[in-house]
Amino acid sequence: MREKDINEWPIIDPLPSYGRGRDSAGGRYSNLIMGYNLTDVVITGNNGTIDGQGETWWKMFRNKELNYTRGFLIELMYSIQVLISNITLVNSPSWNVHPVYSSQVIVSGITILAPVNSPNTDGINPDSSSNVRIEDCYIVSGDDCIAIKSGWDEYGIAFNMPSKHIVIRRLTCISPTSAVIALGSEMSGGIQDVRAEDITAINSESGVRIKTTVGRGAYVKDIFVRGMNLYTMKWVFWMTGTYGQHPDDNFDPKAIPVVQNISYSNVVAENVTMAAKLEGIPGAPFTGICIYNVTAEVVKSKKPIWNCTDVEGVSSHVTPTPCAQIPESPDRITHCPFPEDDLPVLMTLVLWTVVTTAFIGTAEGHRHYRRGGSETELEAFHYAAAGAGGCRAHVASLTDFGGVGDGVTSNTAAFAAAVANLSKVAYDGGAMLVVPAGRWLTGAFRLTRHFTLFLDHDAVILATQDINEWPIIDPLPSYGRGRDSAGGRYSNLIMGYNLTDVVITGNNGTIDGQGETWWKMFRNKELNYTRGFLIELMYSIQVLISNITLVNSPSWNVHPVYSSHVIVSGITILAPVNSPNTDGINPDSSSNVRIEDCYIVSGDDCIAIKSGWDEYGIAFNMPSKHIVIRRLTCISPTSAVIALGSEMSGGIQDVRAEDITAINSESGVRIKTTIGRGAYVKDIFVRRMNLHTMKWVFWMTGTYGQHPDNNFDPKAIPVVQNISYSNVVAENVTMAAKLEGIPGAPFTGICIYNVTAEVVKSKKPIWNCTDVEGVSSHVTPTPCAQIPESPDRITHCPFPEDDLPVDCVGLEECSFRRTKP
């Protein structure tokens, strides 16, 4: 925690490229964690927290009681080889992470949380820094989630240190009053070569915002953005040449900034006020703008859809039709540029993984070197590993086994041959199959032990729509039958049984289930068997699924069943919100499962924890337990963010969920069961949820779901107990809670603490409670009588502080290169 005594924060000099503090003239309060002229410095952890306790600073700033500029949580100046990873930053007085005058900086897997009305709580601000990599971060901010800077007016011009060679990928941002990624406005040293991809934003003001003004000088150029999904925005694109104040009156009015070569590709935006506000500088227009393959769903508004002045560019495949200054020119462009070369920071990393379980083995470091100069064309990439096998000794490409990535040729045989051949050497240091860029049509195939399936960037595994390529397999023994119909199941696209040390990862490659045909047959009741899933791993241990995108699954997406030590990290799952049963991630009779940094849009539950169905699950008797879910973003208008059940007849215990964001979803954490299920749902701990537009914040029901047959035991009454919810903020909800237990077997031990739900006017009761028992404190609106406010009895709801075994598993980063065949 940051010390609140202002005297503990000595005054330091202003940054030379700014000339003064940003809040006021003169110096700055020191930063909480600082480093100067350092080499090889790491700030990391097991998701520990740095709390800036910023409320006092924000109040003094608003009341103009500060004589100096507020400090940041982390500032590293004139430093090289920096890694900041796997920590949470909350309530910074001002900016959170500020690498300045530095190079070779990696910020990976961090969470930043600040109230959305807190002043200037930018997330990550590279400033006059080069070779910076920002990835897999989740940020809720009162200002820009990421802001790239390089000095202020004449001070930045004189200092003359640009920010350049910056990569941003797999970022999730919530910033209602600011930008997802901002360039400027303090950019007087220049900003060049910024590459942003796979960006998700919810309820943020603008996507990538360029802001500058006369007097800044320098340039913002060679900016490349692709793969953005934006939900509820004011502007998709915003550029302005009239933004920001000056440090003093000595700026040069002839210092005109140059903005050129700005590319945006593959952007989908929903519920936006305007497609773009592009306002250059009269006499110095912003040029070289390229916009390709963009769809923006604009709400009805009196504002113009596009507002463009003093800009020049070209566009293609853009909806709604752009302004005249960015004309549609499909004959001139088939894409907008995005660099394919690797920056040095992509090839160089020192990452130390501290290991406390036998899962990984001895702690060790791995240094990955940049590619050297050569006339031989090389392919090189990084991939994740977790398990005793670590990095793989044997690597092959699907093309080595006859694979053809044209989207038409079947690769079922190629996948089978590749796995069969690599399985022969996998025992000796592990094996990896690379799926290169292309569209690889295939039917179902199986994985093997000590094996990695790697999907390169722009690689798409396409599930065949030929139903004969999906052989029938047995129903799950804990279910007794298929879920869609009695009998067996169609096989899953990617399967594994009795495996150890198996990894499915990539450079954000895609697995496309092409589910529309399956959904249509299901709705028309034309299927005799249950639809398959995209990924199912059964009776397996040491599983890692990371850095891939799954789209259009026929049914569930990821299904670890009867498995343990499973990590699902940094994946994106997308399905139409009306698609049937397209659950995101469903741990089923599995233990020690870690789900983190995932973004899911689903036609059903984003995550559903299960453990068998009625008498079959009771007999199989394998619970789901010791499950951690953190930093999840979910959109599911008809279902839950996290569901427990309804198939839970093996039991569900010790589930820990934290830092959850949901938008336009039916309910937060939903417990669903019924008479005949038996078993239990107990020791469920949830904290720090931000929910926007929901039907119910809390929902529990003891009357949910059908039975596999008529042989269920009506005396098998499920037990639901010890359910804790803390630190929840919900906006635009219909009801605070619908809590309905079982008559004669109430749900007990419910604890609700520090919850604020903004309920819209409705004829429905705000709280609907029957057959439940519990306690609450600091809850608005006032809970039902069964969950009475008892601030004298509780000061918090429990959340375990111990680490589960799966929490102590580190992910090892490996690299591979070979001469292209």
For residue range 351-387, list pLDDT tens digits in order: 333 322 223 222 223 323 222 333 334 455 667 776 5
Q: Long-range contacts: 434-437, Cβ < 8 Å, 24+?
A: 434/395, 434/396, 434/397, 434/398, 434/816, 435/397, 435/398, 435/403, 435/459, 435/461, 435/506, 435/509, 436/379, 436/397, 436/398, 436/399, 436/405, 437/405
Q: Average pLDDT, stretch 799-804?
A: 93
* Contacting residues for 612 by C-beta, under 8 A, at least 6 apart: 476, 478, 479, 588, 589, 618, 620, 622, 647, 648, 649, 650
Report CA dihedral (224, 229, 234, 236) to the nearest 10 degrees: 30
Q: What's the CA gap between 209 and 191, in Å, rounded?
A: 13
**Which of 8, 122, 97 has the alpha carbon at shortest distance from 44?**
97
For 709-754, the pLDDT digits (tens) are: 999 999 999 999 999 999 999 988 999 999 999 999 999 999 999 9
pLDDT score of 46: 80
* 161-175, 344-358, 526-540, 620-634: least confident range: 344-358
Q: Average pLDDT, stretch 592-603?
A: 94
**pLDDT top residue among 677 and 5:** 677
pLDDT score of 779: 97
Please give the positions annotated as active site. 604
Q: At 301, is the pLDDT very low, low, confident or very high (cuts 50, 70, 90)?
A: confident
281 φ/ψ angles, rounded to the nearest 5 degrees = -110, 125
- β 451-455/500-506 pair status: parallel
176 within 8 A of 170, measured Cβ to Cβ: no
**Which of 719, 723, 631 has the alpha carbon at shortest distance from 686?**
723
Q: What's the CA gap between 486 and 777, in Å, rounded?
A: 47
Q: Average pLDDT, stretch 104-111?
A: 94
- Mean pLDDT: which of 5-14, 679-688, 762-771, 787-796 is highest? 679-688
- Where residue 498 falls (left for φ over 0; alpha for ψ -120 to 50; beta otherwise) is left
pLDDT score of 190: 98
pLDDT score of 586: 99
Q: What's the CA gap between 720 and 671, in Å, rounded?
A: 9
* b/e sequence 96-122, b meaning 16+ C-beta within 10 Å: bbbbbbbbbbbbbbbbbbbbbebbbbb
Q: Is the pLDDT assigned to residue 761 strictly greater than 60?
A: yes
72 within 8 A of 95, measured Cβ to Cβ: yes
pLDDT score of 4: 60
Q: At 12, is the pLDDT very low, low, confident or very high (cuts 50, 70, 90)?
A: very high
For 203-223, the pLDDT digits (tens) are: 889 999 999 999 999 999 999
Decide whether 381-492+500-534+548-555 matches 563-705+712-804 in CATH topology: yes
Q: What's the CA gap between 693 and 695, in Å, rounded?
A: 7
pLDDT score of 353: 32
- DSSP assignment of 83-139 equals EEESEEEE--SS-SEEEES-EEEEEES-EEE--TTSTT--SB--BS-EEEEEEEEEE
CA distances from 198 to 125, 265, 268, 507 (A): 19, 11, 11, 11
Identify any residues that bridge with 627 across adjacent strands, giving them in sequence order.
593, 655
Q: Which regions of 456-611 does DSSP assign to beta strands (E)?
A: 459-463, 472-473, 489-490, 494-497, 500-506, 509-512, 535-538, 541-546, 548-551, 558-561, 564-569, 572-574, 591-601, 607-609
Look-up of token digits 């595994």: 461
For 406-450, the pLDDT digits (tens) are: 999 999 999 999 999 999 999 999 999 999 999 999 999 999 999
274 within 8 A of 298, measured Cβ to Cβ: yes
| CATH entry 2.160.20.10 includes domain 6-319 | yes
- Mean pLDDT: which of 9-13, 531-535, 574-578 is highest? 531-535
Residue 522, H or E segment: helix 516-523
Q: What is the pTM of this model?
A: 0.65
Q: Average pLDDT, stretch 10-17?
A: 95
Q: Average pLDDT, stretch 53-58?
A: 94
pLDDT score of 355: 28
**Which of 298, 148, 273, 111 has the alpha carbon at shortest distance from 204?**
273
**Architecture per CATH, 381-492+500-534+548-555:** 3 Solenoid (2.160)
* Contacting residues for 245 by C-beta, under 8 A, at least 6 apart: none
**Which of 305, 355, 252, 465 has the alpha carbon at shortest distance from 46?**
355
Tokens of 70: 């507020």
545 within 8 A of 535, measured Cβ to Cβ: yes
- Residue 761 CB neighbours (<10 A): 5
DSSP label of 299: P
Cis, bond preceding 128 (omega within 30 deg of 0): no
Query: Which residue type sits at 286?
Result: F
Q: What's the CA gap between 348 and 129, in Å, rounded?
A: 16
User: Is residue 542 helix, strand or coil?
Assistant: strand
For 457-516, the pLDDT digits (tens) are: 889 999 999 999 999 999 999 999 999 999 999 999 999 999 999 999 998 899 999 999
Cis, bond preceding 590 (omega within 30 deg of 0): no
Q: What's the CA gap between 788 and 420, in Å, rounded?
A: 61
* Contacting residues for 315 by C-beta, under 8 A, at least 6 apart: 290, 291, 292, 294, 322, 326, 327, 328, 329, 333
Q: At 343, is the pLDDT very low, low, confident or very high (cuts 50, 70, 90)?
A: confident
Q: What is the separation, in whole angstroms, between the first and last Cα of the chain?
A: 54
**Which of 670, 672, 726, 667 has the alpha carbon at shortest distance from 697?**
667
445 within 8 A of 422, measured Cβ to Cβ: no
**Which of 245, 242, 186 has the alpha carbon at shortest distance from 218?**
186
- Largest Cα separation within the chain, whole Å, is 85
Tokens of 573: 């799952």
725 within 8 A of 757, measured Cβ to Cβ: no
Q: Is the pLDDT assigned to residue 250 strictly greater than 70?
A: yes
pLDDT score of 344: 81
Q: Is the pLDDT assigned to residue 389 strictly greater than 80?
A: no
Query: What residue segments make up the domains of the chain, in order of their start?
Result: 6-319, 381-492+500-534+548-555, 563-705+712-804
* 78-87, 108-117, 680-689: least confident range: 108-117
Alpha helices by DSSP H, 383-479: 412-423
Count of residues making up the chain: 821
**Which of 145, 252, 158 has the alpha carbon at shortest distance from 207?**
145
pLDDT score of 386: 67
Identify any residues that bridge with 667 across adjacent strands, giving them in sequence order.
640, 696
**Architecture per CATH, 563-705+712-804:** 3 Solenoid (2.160)
Q: At 817, is the pLDDT very low, low, confident or very high (cuts 50, 70, 90)?
A: low
Q: What percent of the chain has pLDDT over 90?
A: 80
